[in-house]
Amino acid sequence: MEMFHVKPRWLFLKVITCDDGTIGWGEPVVEGRAQTVEAAVKEIARYLIGQSTTLARILIALEDYAWNNDKDPSFHNLTLTVTPGTIFNGGGFPSVVPSNASAMVDIRLMPSTSVDDILKKIEDIMKTIINERNEFYRKMTFNSTSSARLSASITIKNQLPAATIDSNHPLVLSCVNAVKKILSITPTTNGCGPANEGYMLIESGIPTICGFGPIGGNVHGVDEWISIPSMTQTVDIYLDIVSNYCQLFG
Contact, 68 vs 80, CB < 8 A?
Answer: yes
- Tell me whether residue 160 is in a domain: no
pTM (whole model) above 0.75: no
Query: Residue 102 is part of a domain; what is its CATH number?
Result: 3.30.70
- Tell me whether residue 153 is in a domain: no
Percent of the chain whose pLDDT exceeds 70: 80
For 227-249, how does the pLDDT look when each residue is reduced to its tens digit (9 = 90+)?
A: 999 999 999 999 999 988 777 66
- Tell me whether residue 163 is in a domain: no
Are 232 and 209 within one domain? Answer: yes
- Using left for φ > 0, alpha for ψ between -120 and 50, and beta otherwise, residue 184 falls in left
Q: How many CA atoms lie within 13 A of 99 on its CB side?
A: 2
Are 129 and 88 within one domain? Answer: yes
- Tell me whether residue 156 is in a domain: no
- Tell me whether residue 150 is in a domain: no
Are 98 and 22 within one domain? Answer: no
pLDDT of residue 58: 93
For 181-222, how does the pLDDT look when each residue is reduced to its tens digit (9 = 90+)?
A: 999 999 888 877 667 788 888 888 888 888 888 999 898 789
User: Which of these ranges, 17-21, 133-137, 207-211, 225-229, has the smallest mean pLDDT?
Assistant: 17-21
> Can you say how many angstroms the Cα of residue 166 is from the centroid of all Cα atoms in its chain?
29
- Domain interval for residue 203: 170-249
Which residues, other chains included, contact 80 with Cβ-Cβ below 8 Å and sequence gap of 6+?
67, 68, 69, 70, 71, 107, 108, 109, 110, 113
- Tell me whether residue 107 is in a domain: yes
For 167-182, how does the pLDDT look when each residue is reduced to its tens digit (9 = 90+)?
A: 889 899 999 999 999 9
Tell me the average pLDDT of the chain: 82
User: Which pLDDT band, with edges at 50, 70 and 90, does 19 fall under?
Assistant: very low
User: Which of these ranges, 46-55, 97-106, 205-214, has the smallest mean pLDDT?
Assistant: 46-55
More confident residue, 39 or 188: 188
